[in-house]
């Protein structure tokens, strides 16, 4: 809850005003601007485990609140992706001395305080609210609901076998994407340390190769802002690799590097640094685009940057830049030179089974480049072409995806709107998160 609800005369006054607005029929906003109505001493939704492996069993909803707090008059309201309520769970009992109250789907949850089969919530995108009478006390939205009933941006979806946990326990910033992360279920126990704790796995998005040139904007404060927020919600530290070169020192301590549609070539020294990074356990996500996607008019498009100069333009390229990253030779994945700007829009679908494809039914390729999998595994494709390939190299892992706009949220860093708004698609969102989790060794 906001700090002004926690203590003092102003908190009591605001809580009273909020309840008066409810009595007068003035409901809070139904989307991301919802402000929870809880006063001091109210419980919050602390953990939700809604998708167990296999047939759902042992799911639960955990509240965190003051010991001895009666839950008489409280309910949990569940909403589908369209924001339509599909379930009400009536609460009873009191919060035990531990401060955790667990509503379990069945008796297999050892730390249960109440059993209600309704805790088996929707697995995709949905929302959950804690109500006292008609007042909203706390709210959670997860995934990419078309109408969210949560607070701020939604938390990520979990995939089977993991829970959404509020970290630190009981703390609420009114932003679900900030407050919740995906982790192992801990019913009736603490969820762990804050996401700002040193030692989190670090994910960097490269900006050394003009990834924001022209009409591209693959920045974590721009078109990839939702991507970055979702990864933070999973518990990763997310930042930018800036400057003009990728170096071994810049990659020190990094778990995953994302390179989205680079516009400038890699030098021999940079290629060596990236090869060593992967060989020693790093994860590299290469996101390319179609041929002739030269955003800064220097003669290089992203397939060339990943695979080497094609001998056309620019007229002269120094020896140290001609190979560029050479991803086909060192990583076994090649951005195909056979795609062009005239390629149609494709819908890539799974070609096999793999943890990266959990929750992924399809993802859009918006005039991109197919991937030639020389070594590794083809995961998604369309029309006989592969658009997502992965490979384990040394102690590390690499992945290549064929279109940078797939993960765009249409909000550019200069405040303008882009051409695509694809991140809210559930499969695209799950795909982007899962690739990073796999590269980091967490999936």
Predicted pLDDT at 387: 94
Predicted pLDDT at 199: 58
Angle at the Cα of 376 (from 370 to 381), degrees rounded to 5?
35
Tell me the pTM: 0.61
Rounded-to-integer distance, Cα 177 and Cα 166, Å: 10
Predicted pLDDT at 4: 25
Task: Quote the tokens at residue 54.
Answer: 């296999």
Predicted pLDDT at 14: 33
CB under 8 A, 24+ apart: contacts of 244-248 = 244/208, 245/208, 245/269, 245/270, 246/206, 246/208, 246/270, 246/273, 246/274, 247/273, 248/273, 248/276, 248/277
Predicted pLDDT at 339: 56
The domains of the chain, with CATH numbers, are 3-183 (2.60.40.1260), 202-439 (3.40.50.880)
Predicted pLDDT at 426: 67
Element (H, E) at 56: none
Sheet of 60-64, strands arranged across: 114-115, 100-104, 60-64, 44-49, 163-166, 180-183
CB atoms within 10 A of CB 132: 20
Query: Strand, helix or coil at 383?
Result: coil
Rounded-to-integer distance, Cα 251 and Cα 125, Å: 35
Predicted pLDDT at 194: 44
Rounded-to-integer distance, Cα 256 and Cα 441, Å: 10
Which residue in this structure is represented by tokens 């979806």? 157
Rounded-to-integer distance, Cα 338 and Cα 125, Å: 37
Across the chain, which has 443 residues, the per-10-residue mean pLDDT values are 29 33 33 41 93 84 94 96 95 94 93 94 91 94 90 83 86 83 86 55 94 90 86 85 92 96 96 96 95 90 92 89 95 80 73 91 88 96 93 96 90 78 78 94 89
Predicted pLDDT at 364: 86
Rounded-to-integer distance, Cα 211 and Cα 302, Å: 10
């Amino acid at each position: 809850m906001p700090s002004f609800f926690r203590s003092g005369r102003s908190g009591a006054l605001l809580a009273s005003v909020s309840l008066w607005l409810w009595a007068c029929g003035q409901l809070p906003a139904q989307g991301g601007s919802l402000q929870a109505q809880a006063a001091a001493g109210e419980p919050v939704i602390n953990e939700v485990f809604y998708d167990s492996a296999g047939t759902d069993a042992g799911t639960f909803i955990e509240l965190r609140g003051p010991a001895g707090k009666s839950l008489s008059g409280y309910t949990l309201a569940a909403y589908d992706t369209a924001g339509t309520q599909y379930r009400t769970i009536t609460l009873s009992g009191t919060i035990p001395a531990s401060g955790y109250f667990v509503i379990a789907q069945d008796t297999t949850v050892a730390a249960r305080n109440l059993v209600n089969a309704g805790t088996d919530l929707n697995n995709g995108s949905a929302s959950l609210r804690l109500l006292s009478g008609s007042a909203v006390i706390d709210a959670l939205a997860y995934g990419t609901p078309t109408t969210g009933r949560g607070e701020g941006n939604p938390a990520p979806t979990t995939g089977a076998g993991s829970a959404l946990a509020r970290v630190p326990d009981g703390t609420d910033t009114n932003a679900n994407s900030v407050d919740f992360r995906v982790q192992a279920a801990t019913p009736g126990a603490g969820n762990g340390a804050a996401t700002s704790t040193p030692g989190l796995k670090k994910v960097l998005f490269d900006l050394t190769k003009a990834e924001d040139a022209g009409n591209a904007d693959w920045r974590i404060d721009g078109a990839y802002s939702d991507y970055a927020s979702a990864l933070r919600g999973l518990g990763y530290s997310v930042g930018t690799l800036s400057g003009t070169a990728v170096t071994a020192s810049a990659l020190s301590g990094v778990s995953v590097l994302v390179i989205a549609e680079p516009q400038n070539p890699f030098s021999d020294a940079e290629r060596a640094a990236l090869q060593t990074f992967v060989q020693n356990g790093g994860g590299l996500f290469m996101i390319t685009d179609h041929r002739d996607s030269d955003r800064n008019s220097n003669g290089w498009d992203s397939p060339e940057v990943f695979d080497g100069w094609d001998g056309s333009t620019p007229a002269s390229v120094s020896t140290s830049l001609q190979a560029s990253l050479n991803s086909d030779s060192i990583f076994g994945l090649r951005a195909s030179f056979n795609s062009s700007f005239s390629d149609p829009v494709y819908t890539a679908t799974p070609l096999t089974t793999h943890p990266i494809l959990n929750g992924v039914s399809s993802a859009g390729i918006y005039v991109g480049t197919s991937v030639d999998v020389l070594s590794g595994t083809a995961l998604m494709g369309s029309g006989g072409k592969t658009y997502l390939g992965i490979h384990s190299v040394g102690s590390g892992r690499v992945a290549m995806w064929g279109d940078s706009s797939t993960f765009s949220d249409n909000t550019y860093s200069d405040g303008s709107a882009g051409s695509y708004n694809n991140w809210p698609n559930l499969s695209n969102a799950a795909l982007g998160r899962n690739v990073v989790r796999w590269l980091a060794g967490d999936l």
